[in-house]
Structure 1
Amino acid sequence: MPTTKPAPSAREQELLERAYSYSLTHGLADLSLRPLATAIGSSPRVLLFLFGSKDGLIRALLARARSDELALLEQLRYDEQPGLDVIGRELWTWLSAPERRPLMNLWVEAYGRSLVSPDGPWGDYARSTVDDWLELLEASQPDAASNHARARRTAVLALLRGALLDLLATGDLDRTTRAVEQHLTR
């Protein structure tokens, strides 16, 4: 009989939110439980008890970051199909907002780690986020099943992610936004 994890306690949820805020500033790659616990008003022992292991905590933090992404995707669902250019612009506006830089930096770190450590807590993070974004882009296309439509949404996703990497590396919002806009208006 499969066991399901009980709903998180209020304390677990509170510590997860504090750890998430910490990870947005400090990242996850070199996460050490002792400094994290001190920063969020806990202890390593409590974190291990609540999350099972450091890997369990990282999984919980990645799930928390992904929930922010999925909330955006839900906001961008339309009754009609607005087209890739409309969705692409809205996604870029959300991705490139200065207040999202910490989340986007965390996303890049988790995405990269997922590629090089697929068996670790990062697991299938990269693949899952690709699938999430492609699903949203597909819903914006009237001819979504065609090979041309699949290629087009893949190109838009690649454009947005490439521009995001460039923006995070350089901070040049004007240039990256012009590049995104120029490509989307073709």
Structure 2
Amino acid sequence: MRTSATGPSVRKLTLLESAYEYIQRRGLSDLSLRPLATEVGSSPRVLLFLFGSKHDLIREVLARARTDERRILNQLRRHDRPEPAGIERAAMELWTWLSEPVRRPLLALWAEAYARSVTASPGPTEGFAKDAVEEWLAALAAAQPADVRASVAGATQRTLILAVLRGALLDLLATDDLDRTTSAVHHHLAVFR
């Protein structure tokens, strides 16, 4: 990563944002530097100078995507709440955020990076899926009372909720059927009332 003593250059940050938008629209599968550079108003040479390699650029784009994802996770972990949000409420907040139509490009990118992370050899998506699971489980844990959070039953509960949210998200991305997937999430979460 090419940075100054004070951090990334304005040009690099601008190109990162543009690349992030482009990759959300186009995905990672056939990513080529030449069309990306043309789209973001640069050249492959400049992108390589600023980011080091295509893999490093993809890593930085995925890190940028994670900052959007972390906003909702951090909201669930806020320390100014008088008590944990409750796992059902936290999961519904997550689902509401995940299911908003404006998030589809980000979540399609997330799903692609997640799948590549578990199926590909080391590369720019390495560790993406594992990190995502750990972050989402931690956000759900923060919504549980301390005694439940520390128990095997609490870990099982978080894992099951995460599996349902992830499955419903993939279904929503595939079908765009918000009513059915939301109904399924509500039905599952009613168990925790």
Name the TM-score, length of structure 1 as normaliser: 0.95
Q: Matches of 1:139 and 1:56 in 2, distance apart?
A: 32
Give 3-state SS (helix, strand or coil) of 1:29's partner: coil
Q: Which residue of 1 aligns with 2:124?
A: 121
- Alpha-carbon shift at residue 77 of structure 1 (Å): 2.2
* 8 A Cα contact 2:84 2:143, kept in partner: yes
Is residue 2:72 matched to residue 1:69? no
Q: Which amino acid aligns with 1:158?
A: A
Q: Matches of 2:121 and 2:84 in 1, distance apart?
A: 35
- Alpha-carbon shift at residue 139 of structure 1 (Å): 0.8
1:49-100 deviations in Å (ceiling 9; x for gaps): 0000101100111100111111221122242112110001000000000000
Q: Which residue of 2 aligns with 1:165?
A: 170
1:16-54 deviations in Å (ceiling 9; x for gaps): 000000011001121100000000100000000000010
- Alpha-carbon shift at residue 118 of structure 1 (Å): 4.3
Q: Matches of 1:136 and 1:76 in 2, distance apart?
A: 6
Is residue 2:183 matched to residue 1:178? yes
- Alpha-carbon shift at residue 133 of structure 1 (Å): 0.3
1:121-154 deviations in Å (ceiling 9; x for gaps): 1110000000000000011111101111000000
* 8 A Cα contact 2:87 2:143, kept in partner: yes
Is residue 2:9 matched to residue 1:9? yes
Give the % identical residues: 58
* 8 A Cα contact 1:59 1:122, kept in partner: yes
Q: Matches of 1:94 and 1:177 in 2, distance apart?
A: 12
Q: Which residue of 1 aligns with 2:90?
A: 87
Write the mapping of 1:96-175 to structure 2, written as runs, cut at 5 A: 96-142=99-145, 143-175=148-180
What stretches of structure 1 of length at least 5 have no aligned partner?
none
Number of equivalent positions: 183
After the TM superposition, list the runs of 4 or more consecutive aligned residues in structure 1 that deviate by more than 6 angstroms: none
* 8 A Cα contact 2:88 2:190, kept in partner: yes
Q: Matches of 2:74 and 2:155 in 1, distance apart?
A: 21
Q: Matches of 1:76 and 1:28 in 2, distance apart?
A: 29
Give 3-state SS (helix, strand or coil) of 2:149's partner: coil
